Amino acid sequence: MDTVRWGIIGCGDVCEVKSGPAFYKCDHSALQAVMRRDAEKAADFARRHGVPRFYSDARQLIDDPEVDIVYVATPPAGHAEWTVRALQAGKPVYVEKPMGRTYEECRQMLQAAGERHRKLWVAYYRRSLPYFLKVKELLEARAIGRVQAVRTAFFRPPLACDLEKDLHTWRVDRAIAGGGYFYDLASHTIDLLMFLLGDIVEARGIASNVGCRYEAEDTVGASFLFRSGAVGSAIMCYVSSAAAREDSTEIIGEKGSIRFSTFDFTPVEWITPEKTEKFHYPRPQHIQQQMIQSIVDEMRGAGQCPSTGETGSRVNRVMEQVFAG
């Protein structure tokens, strides 16, 4: 396969910069078709991005013989349905995160992929970014010795849409998203921790709605046990004061620590008793481009994508354990 031809189901905001342009900027990759329920918006996206075809029916895009792989970029409520349909039609799938609203939905997608012997990847694209690969490099070089613990904190003031009852985003609607911002944002951090430190074998947590701005939980505390024996803690609040804003993770080892952020791209810090070294990596313009390139490479037999359906499903399993208490 010289060129991998993509079709997008749900060409909304996430596709404008984060992912959409990457499909036609990656090597050996082309964006062949897009779909959105609003045909005018689908046509507008296609015109602005130079896409040959657009649809308002996802089934038509899946059945398009010139689409080799489907990117499911709908809100999570549509992930399982359209992923399974595309897999059953014989098309590999790249699905947005979180992989599903529930772990059971993830298992349904994995079953469909297995039955049709088709690849399934999940958009935990930080696994491909040089910023986080530097953290992994330091860990694998045992720059801080054996890892003992990790702590992560994320505090963010409410968004403008959180302040008005009629403007709430679908991200805080459990029926659509599976949970609140914890599912939308903390899923990235949980996936990163498992990418860097190995599987989480046990998780517990407490979730609360302290801001009372929407029905979903807005503040979550969690603890983790990794297969290695390392332990972790996390606290996330999505209605904090601006003065408390924070995005930080620290991995603590017997010889030092490594600090980094999930979203802010603050310098990666390698801290030992003797010195502190900082590594700077800018935020990519199209943050999913390296991940998409890895999928294209794998489909062409020239590489491997680090974020699979199996790894993506484990994030949902951990989130459900956290919410179970």
CA gyration radius, the chain: 20
Dihedral sign, Cα of residue 251, residue 237, residue 13, residue 87: positive
Q: Of 147, 206, 146, 151, which Cα lies nearest the Cα of 182?
A: 206
Dihedral sign, Cα of residue 291, residue 292, residue 293, residue 297: positive
User: Longest Cα pair distance anywhere in the chain, in angstroms?
Assistant: 61
- What tokens appear for 225 in the block? 């046990």
Contact status, residue 96 vs residue 312, Cβ threshold 8 Å: no
CA gap 268, 259 in Å, rounded: 6
Burial of 46-57, coded b for 16+ CB within 10 Å and e otherwise, reads beebebebbbee
The reported pLDDT for the residue numbered 168 is 78
Total residue length of the chain: 325
The reported pLDDT for the residue numbered 161 is 87
- What tokens appear for 52 in the block? 């040959």
The reported pLDDT for the residue numbered 162 is 86
The reported pLDDT for the residue numbered 78 is 98
Q: Which residue type sits at 207?
A: A
Tell me, yes or no, if the pTM score tops 0.85: yes
Contact status, residue 245 vs residue 156, Cβ threshold 8 Å: yes
Note the Cα 71 to chain centre separation in Å: 13
Q: Which residues of the chain have pLDDT under 50?
A: none
DSSP state of 184: I
Burial of 139-166, coded b for 16+ CB within 10 Å and e otherwise, reads beeebbeebeebebbbbbbbbeebeeee
- Give the other-Cβ count within 10 Å of 223's Cβ: 14
Contact status, residue 313 vs residue 106, Cβ threshold 8 Å: yes
**E strands of 68-115, at which residues?**
69-72, 93-95
- What tokens appear for 88 in the block? 């059953």
Q: Of 41, 37, 25, 80, which Cα lies nearest the Cα of 61?
A: 37
DSSP state of 308: B
All residues at 6 or more sequence positions from 301 whose CB lies less than 8 Å from its CB, including other chains: none
Burial (CB count <10 Å: 0-12, 13-18, 19+), residue 66: exposed
